[in-house]
């Protein structure tokens, strides 16, 4: 399937009644936009074998909307004492067995009668705290292979590195999020260096937070990042907030801008 641009949604919002409605409403209002929504019950699937009733109901609603794909959050770090100040994330320090257990638990949610009769399938895995240097390629290849062989409904794998990565990772992941930072940092970033000067643009996603520019600048930025005439990146999320536990203030405006570019991309491919 040709990708015309999707919205990567870090859906780190507990699904109280109505809490995910902005996503449901946007997906229905803008059917040409694909949403890849990352659910994160408890920095992963949580301690129990099954999600609670709120997550069951909300996830089944996600899965009932055809242009939403459900990705499950898994993190690779078990330590946060790396770097020169011994305060940085240490990617790939989580035992492989722990990651495998989390992926298996997500997969088992949808076994008939195990947790619910509702459809709570997972379409893929979002690996947070993913590495950028080549030293952990084997680790990420192994856990990606496990995810793709374990999940039965979908097999999308997205690495969240938040920065430029060694080229070896592009052959492993379906997508890599190479930027997760503020609008100010985006304005000064060498974007070409993040996607191999366009070589990997169709696998690249970006997350911009603390975005304070107005609607016209957002229109420009969405077009710059997602328009196929600009070696379009695959996915994008922009929020004016510094947290992911609420939807952006101009959520529907952002989605509308994405649909405009998606429609342009569709038209140019015909």
For 122-135, write each residue's pLDDT tens digit.
999 999 999 999 99
Phi, psi of 13 (to 5 degrees): -120, 125
DSSP string, 1-46: -----EEEEEE-S---TTTTHHHHHHHHH-TTSEEEEEE-SSSSS-
For 161-184, write each residue's pLDDT tens digit.
999 999 999 999 999 999 999 999
pLDDT at 145 over 60: yes
Name every residue whose Cβ is closer than 8 Å to that of residue 219 and which is 6 or more positions away in sequence. Answer: 257, 260
Please compute, for residue 235, the number of CA atoms within 13 A of its CA located in the half-sphere on the CB side. Answer: 25
Domain ranges of the chain: 6-269
DSSP string, the chain: -----EEEEEE-S---TTTTHHHHHHHHH-TTSEEEEEE-SSSSS-SSSS--HHHHHHHHHHHTSTTEEEEEEEE--SEEEETTTT-EEETT-S-HHHHHHHHHHHHHTTSTTTS-SS-----EEEEES---SGGGHHHHHHHHHHHHHH-SS--EEEEE-SS---GGGGGT-SEEEEEEEEHHHHHHS-HHHHTTTTTTGGGEEEEEES----HHHHHHHHHHHH-GGG---SEEEE-SSS-SSS--TTHHHHHHHHHHHHHHHHHHH-
pLDDT of residue 82: 92
Q: In 10 A of CB 27, how many CB atoms?
A: 21
Distance CA 162, CA 129 (A): 8
Distance CA 140, CA 133 (A): 11
Distance CA 120, CA 57 (A): 8
The CATH architecture that domain 6-269 belongs to is Alpha-Beta Barrel (3.20)
Q: Which two tokens stand for residue 205?
A: 């996603």
The length of the chain, given as a count of residues: 270
- pLDDT interval class at 230 (50, 70, 90): confident
Mean pLDDT on 24-41: 97
Considering only CA atoms, give the Rg of the chain.
Answer: 18
Mean pLDDT on 35-56: 97
Name residue 204's beta-bridge partners.
176
For 187-225, write each residue's pLDDT tens digit.
999 999 999 999 999 999 999 999 999 999 999 999 999
């Amino acid at each position: 399937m040709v990708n015309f641009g999707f919205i990567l949604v870090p859906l780190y919002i507990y699904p109280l009644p109505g809490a995910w409605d902005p996503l449901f409403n946007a997906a229905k209002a803008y059917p040409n936009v694909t949403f890849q929504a990352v659910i994160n019950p408890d920095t992963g699937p949580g301690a129990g074998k099954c999600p609670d009733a709120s997550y069951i109901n909300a996830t089944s609603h996600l899965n009932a909307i055809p242009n939403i794909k459900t990705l499950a959050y898994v993190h690779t770090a078990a330590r946060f004492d790396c770097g020169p100040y011994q305060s940085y994330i240490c990617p790939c320090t989580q035992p492989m067995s722990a990651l495998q257990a989390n992926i298996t638990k997500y997969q088992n949610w949808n076994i008939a009668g195990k947790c619910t009769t509702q459809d709570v399938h997972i379409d893929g895995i979002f690996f947070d705290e993913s590495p950028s240097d080549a030293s952990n390629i084997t680790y990420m290849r192994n856990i990606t292979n496990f995810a793709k062989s374990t999940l039965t409904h979908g097999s999308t794998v997205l690495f969240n590195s938040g920065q430029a990565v060694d080229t070896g990772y592009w052959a492993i992941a379906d997508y890599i999020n190479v930027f997760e930072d503020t609008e100010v940092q985006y304005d000064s970033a060498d974007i070409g260096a993040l996607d191999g000067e366009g070589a990997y643009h169709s696998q690249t996603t970006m997350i911009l937070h603390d975005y304070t520019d107005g609607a016209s600048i957002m229109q420009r930025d969405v077009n710059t990042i997602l328009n196929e005439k600009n070696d379009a990146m695959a996915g994008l999320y922009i929020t004016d907030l510094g947290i992911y536990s609420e939807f952006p203030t101009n959520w529907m405006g952002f989605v509308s801008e994405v649909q405009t570019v998606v429609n342009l991309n569709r038209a140019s491919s015909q």
